[in-house]
Every structure is written in C-alpha cells, then in structure tokens.
A and B are shown apart, each in its own frame.
Chain A
C-alpha cells in the first residue's frame, strides 16, 4: 500500500529521533510495523503463544541496532530482515528438540491426506478441509530445512515478490528463484516420502 509523503517523512523523523537517543520515538515505529512482524513470525514459527515474545525480541534488536540503519533499504525491509534472521536462529535452536511430525500424525489424518491427494482440491475447500490441509502442510513446513521454510514462507504465505525476497535476504533474484523451485520440489518429494513411510 502506497504511503503519503507526510507518513514517510514522519517515519524518517522518528527513526532519526531514535538514533539521537529519543526512545519515545520508537513507539510509532513499533505501532506501524507490529502487524507485519507478527505475520512473518507467525508464518515462520507457527506458534501463536510465542509470537509476541519473539516480536519483542525483534523490536529490541532493532532498537539496539537502529544507529546502524542508514536508509539504504526501506525501514520495513530492514526490520523484516531482523525478524527473518531472528526466526532463522530460533528455528535452528528448536530443530534439535523438535519431534517427528510424521510420527505425530494420526492415522485418520493420514487417510484424509490420501483422500485429498486422490482428488485435487480444485473445486475449493470447505472450512474443515482447509483446516486439515493446513495442518498437513504446516507439518510438512515444520519438517522442512530452515532455508526452504524461510523462502516458502516469504513467497507463498507472506506473498513477497522474488525481488523483495532478494532484497530481504541479500541474494540475487535468480538465486531466489532457484531456491524457491528447489524448496517446492523438496516439499512435494517429502510428502511422497511420508506416504511411502506411512
């Protein structure tokens, strides 16, 4: 959504004030970007109860680093980058303690997945089906390597363009495209593997 010139200049003014040591000016920045950060965190971590704590940590990191922000990229991108990096570290930490999502899946859930695989959801899904499907794919996402999960979340869930992802992750757009294709392919292959294991 395009922002007015006054909104942008107000944001710049707030950033400069925080950089000069006025912590009060950080409030409007938090208010403006909290939902964006909550969305990234939720889609990457998928733990409702942890999103707010993680968001606090992200804003805390941003506050501490704000003097290094040089207006080269947009503040939204800079802040999102901090959130993504924070999540990446978090996911790496929890990976070791994560249970196998396949083994957690119930037999009934597995049968449901089979049924849906046989009849592709082109006709649209009802609420119950959506919940089931969301659960399955959420589990697949949770099982995916951090890099795949990150790029799939930004593209498929957060709806970022390839160029925006490239800017955020400091990669070339061509690299983003390749990683995205590989991540999708691995995820589909992982579903197939699960089916064979089941």
Chain B
C-alpha cells in the first residue's frame, strides 16, 4: 500500500478500523501518521460542530412569515395592477402623440403636398402647373423645376 492509497482509505473509512496492510504502512511512514492524526482531529472537530446548539426560531416566526407573505401578495397584486394600467397609459399617450405628429406633418390638401414634395426632392411639380392653368394666371415667379434641383 502506498501513501495515496492509505490516505484514500483513511478518508473513506473515516474512523473505521484500518486493515493490517494500512497499519503496516503507518508503522513505516511518518507522513501518513501525521495525516491519520489530522484526520482524527478533523473528525473530532466536526463532531464538536455537530453538537453545537443550533439557534432556534424566534417566537412567532411562522406567523410573522405568513403575515409578510400576505403583505407581499397584496403588494404584488397592487403593483401588478398599476403596472398594467401604467403600461396601457404609456401606450395610449404614445399613440396619441404619433397621431398628432402625423396630422401636423401631413398637409390638409393634395396639391400643396405635391409642391412641398417636389421642392424637397428637386423635381418639377406638375401639380403646380395644373393649378396655375386652373386659375388662369401666368406666374412669373412660379417654380420651374427641373430634375437635379432648382437653378436660381
């Protein structure tokens, strides 16, 4: 039996009787003797730890626990309600804001939208031409837009 085998055996038996082979090794190996003593010491220490008085629950621990759980449940239900309502409120506000922005961004009539779009994109506006035709006037300052952008 070598040192590793002996130490494995001591850890496994943990206080049980060691076989003759192990005792023979111990008689020749001081290091394993120390290991065995330390193992006994640790075992005795663990026993002492096990015997130590465990703290007891304070009086009314269970009822306090139940009361706290009930409070938690009520609080949880309340916060869930507010969370749901709050979330709906945020969605509704966002929806309304978006609708308002869209209504401001989009013009109320079609032809104006055409001009605005053309100005921005730099294309000739057919809408404006047709509008001038409808009115019957010749506007010298009318936009004469060509692809590529305004030229002066």
Main secondary structure of the interface of A (DSSP, over half): helix
Please provide the chain B residues from 36 to 51 with a CB less than 8 Å away from any CB of chain A in the complex: 37-51
* Complex: A156 Cα to B15 Cα, angstroms: 12
Give the residues in chain A near B56, CB-CB below 8 Å: 35, 38
Q: Which of B12, B43, B56, B66 has the most CB of A within 10 A?
A: B66
Give the residues in chain A near B55, CB-CB below 8 Å: 38, 42, 48, 51-52
- For A, the interface residue count at a CB cutoff of 8 angstroms equals 51
| CB closest residue in chain B, given A124 | B44
B58 contacts A by Cβ under 8 Å: yes
Query: Quick check: A121 and B66 within 8 Å, CB to CB?
Result: no
Query: Quick check: B11 and A185 within 8 Å, CB to CB?
Result: yes
Give the residues in chain B near A42, CB-CB below 8 Å: 54-55
Please provide the chain B residues from 1 to 55 with a CB less than 8 Å away from any CB of chain A in the complex: 7-8, 10-12, 14, 34-35, 37-52, 54-55
| CB closest residue in chain B, given A191 | B38
A-B contact pairs, 22 of them (CB 8 A): A26-B65, A30-B65, A51-B55, A60-B69, A117-B37, A117-B41, A118-B37, A133-B45, A134-B48, A137-B44, A156-B46, A156-B47, A157-B46, A158-B50, A159-B50, A181-B12, A185-B11, A188-B7, A188-B10, A192-B34, A192-B35, A192-B38
Task: List 10 tightest A-B contacts by C-beta distance, closest first.
Answer: A137-B45, A30-B62, A185-B11, A134-B48, A156-B46, A31-B62, A184-B11, A120-B40, A157-B50, A34-B57
Which residues of B come within 8 Å of A, CB atoms? 7-8, 10-12, 14, 34-35, 37-52, 54-58, 61-63, 65-66, 68-70, 72-73
